[in-house]
Amino acid sequence: MRMKFHEQLDELTDRLASMCRLAGEAVQAATEALVLADLPLAGRVFDLNEQIEELRGPCEDLAMALLALQGPVARDLRQVVTGVHLVTDLSRMGGLVQHVAESVRRRHPGHVASGEAEELLSRMGRVAAELAGLAEWVLRTHDPELAAEIGRRDDELDDLHRRLLTLIEDPAWSGTIPAAVDVTLLGRFYERFGDHTVVVGRRVIFLVTGEQMTS
């Protein structure tokens, strides 16, 4: 019975890591679509997000079945409860990336952003994809030191976000009001994506140590 339980826990972990991998692929595709004004790439983001959502239900069902039928305690219980929360975080990551793709579709055949703003958004997208890769590895290894590294890498994303806001708030910026709105929203989508990877890391630290990481 216990062997079966841990096999199911491993299955849950693998599905969660797969959701994170798909989110990373989606943010990379969305960023390329943004820079290239590429409609097919934007469409791929929708396909990837659909795959994320297809994994969400089975993850939730498996976690609830483990809680109801196995009565886990201590670390096993933390792992199942953590899994329930992670499903929501990973789904939201996919949703945020889809917002980027929707912006590309809405402005096509034009670019959503240009010049320095586009470059900063591109860099934010690259860092976000790297954060998703770290988060996937943390989910697979349960390495608390690597989980803490996500927070440190997210600081780089936050710095890029601040630079983006400073750019469009500068009176010398020549962009239009619609462009400023687009850039502001896109920056927020990437910044929130990074925040969710940090939450993934914190949840894994709680899983391994039983301690909440608040900073």
Predicted confidence (pLDDT) per residue in 130-158, tens digit: 999 999 999 999 898 898 899 999 999 99
Q: What CATH code would you report for 2-209?
A: 1.20.58.220
Residue 135 CA to residue 198 CA, distance in Å, equals: 8
Distances (CA, A) of 129 to 6, 31, 45, 172: 30, 9, 13, 31
- How high is the pLDDT of residue 110? 95
- Nearest residue to 94 (alpha-carbon basis) of 199, 189, 184: 189
What span, in angstroms and rounded, lies between the C-alpha atoms of 94 and 79? 22
pLDDT in tens, 87-133: 999 999 999 999 999 999 999 999 999 999 999 999 999 999 999 99
**Structure token pair of residue 111:** 């670019």
Mean pLDDT value across residues 198-215: 76
Q: Is the pLDDT of residue 74 over 80?
A: no
Percent over 70 (pLDDT), the chain: 93
Six token digits for residue 168: 């469009």
Cis omega before residue 58 (within 30°)? no
pLDDT confidence of residue 215: 47
Query: For the chain, what is the total number of helices (H) and then of strands (E)?
Result: 6, 0
